[in-house]
Structure 1
Amino acid sequence: MTSDETYVLAGYVAGYRWKPPAQSWTKHLPAAVVSVSECLTDFLPEDDDTITAPWHTTLQDAVSASHQAPAGAEAAHVLAVGIPASAVLGLAAMVKNWIGTCPHPILSNLTQPGSPDGTVQGFEVLGFETGRFHSWLCYDLLGEAFDKLGIRTNDRGLLDTLAEARQVADMANSNRGTPEGTPEEVTWFPALIMERGYLDPEATD
């Protein structure tokens, strides 16, 4: 985390680590990757198919959801997502353009700013498209970042600094709509990922 940037809480998710397939493009990734993208991993509750899934407005909601894992399933993790203050207006506008006046956890949090807290895991580059949050790992940006920028992930599959995340986001946005780039409709931005660890749903604020 940088000292010259503040972060605004966007929301919480309760889900699992992504286990990358054994392929050539994943060779630089750890066995388990922290992600808040529904493109890569599963979140709780499993049967929640509303337009707000997988996002939770409050920590208590996310913690309660994390305890809904099926018997015998691996432990779910509660993650808080922070957006650099300089990117808040842009993300809020994108969400508002998509959802209109309907309530959404991310929009609610961004319009009533709070700070994310927890153990810093790193930065994920997310791409917003009509309510869905893609990960930079979905579009082979990992290989480009490695080859062109010399950027590598940490042991959680995330980027260590906001500067690196901005570099990747800028690279992805500059190539949108080109044959070798990402879809024109996806706008990329950095997100700070923090983990809350195991919490008792009855003990959260």
Structure 2
Amino acid sequence: MIEGLPSGVDVPGKLLLAGYFVAVPERTTVAGLPRTERLTSASDCLIDRFPDDGCWFGTAQEALAACLPLQLPVDARLYALLVPSEHVGGFVADIRAAGTDEPVLLAQLNGQEAGEAAREVAEGGHKLGWEVLGYDCGLLHTWLCNDLYEEGRLHLGVDTDERGLLPNREAALRVAAWANTRGDTKPVTWFPAALIEWDNPIESGLGPVTTEAPAPLHSSPGRAESSISQKLMGFSSRT
């Protein structure tokens, strides 16, 4: 399962694997965010990732094994984050500057920008799209939680898909460059990144949560909107 790139994935050269994580897409109806049933991000500002502590993993097997003791929602999925090599240095520098313990991300990325062989990505996944992220104080923030979505659509002419993701590398590069010129976001180095998703439900030793219907994504729209609002309040977009 872990040799080679995901089958059928059109991944440009020099994309480096940052790590794997397990997450649940969110339904969003909050103003200033894309309206979508399945917002997906490597940032936990807007979606839930599992386990709550130590949610980054160096291999797909490690991520799946960590979820075995948990009771996960039926829509939890495995993801991988890939970062263009030219943006790895800024990402690593922000991790080190924050003084936080990120052994997986550092082990995966540190030194790769200097020419080390990129770590291989597990087979069986498919590329979802691109997002723009920045690391600050132990957290990955997304441009969506920094009140940039509406302005990005207006000034850059970019838009997101049904997952809240940008369609290609070029759009993500434009958003990242634009966000880095601003002084009203989190004090991070914004960088583009690609997401890979595996369609298989996550196996759990306790079994998946099945007490609620899997569609819509959350049984109560109000609950989903409240969840997103609480996350936005917890991760203020202004310094």
The TM-score by the shorter chain falls in which range?
0.7 to 0.9
Return the letter of the residue paired with 1:65: A
2:47 equivalent in structure 1 = 41
What is the TM-score normalised by the length of structure 2? 0.70
2:207 equivalent in structure 1 = none
Distance in 1, Cα, partners of 2:12 & 2:38 = 30
2:109 equivalent in structure 1 = 110
Spell out the pairing of 1:26-175 with structure 2 (5 A cutoff). Answer: 26=33, 28-46=34-52, 48=53, 53-70=54-71, 73-99=73-99, 104-111=103-110, 113-117=118-122, 118-175=125-182
- Rg larger in structure: 2
Deviation at 1:160, TM superposition (A): 1.1
Distance in 2, Cα, partners of 1:151 & 1:200 = 33
* 1:12-43 per-position Cα deviation (integer Å, ceiling 9, x unaligned): 111110221x23323x4322111111111111
Seen in structure 2, the aligned counterparts of structure 1 residues 103 and 187 have a Cα distance that, compared at 3 Å, is closer
Return the letter of the residue paired with 1:74: V
Matched, 1:188 2:186: no
SS at match of 2:191: strand
Return the letter of the residue paired with 1:58: T
Distance in 1, Cα, partners of 2:76 & 2:171 = 28
Distance in 2, Cα, partners of 1:54 & 1:79 = 11
* 1:106-151 per-position Cα deviation (integer Å, ceiling 9, x unaligned): 1111136314352000011111112210111101111011110110
Which runs of 5 or more residues in structure 1 are unaligned? none
Which runs of 5 or more residues in structure 2 are unaligned? 1-8, 113-117, 204-239
Determine what percentage of the aligned residue pairs are the same residue: 32
Deviation at 1:104, TM superposition (A): 1.1
SS at match of 2:35: coil
Return the letter of the residue paired with 2:65: S
> Are the counterparts in 1 of residues 57 and 104 from structure 2 also a CA contact under 8 Å?
yes
Return the letter of the residue paired with 2:179: A
What is the TM-score normalised by the length of structure 1? 0.81
SS at match of 1:54: coil
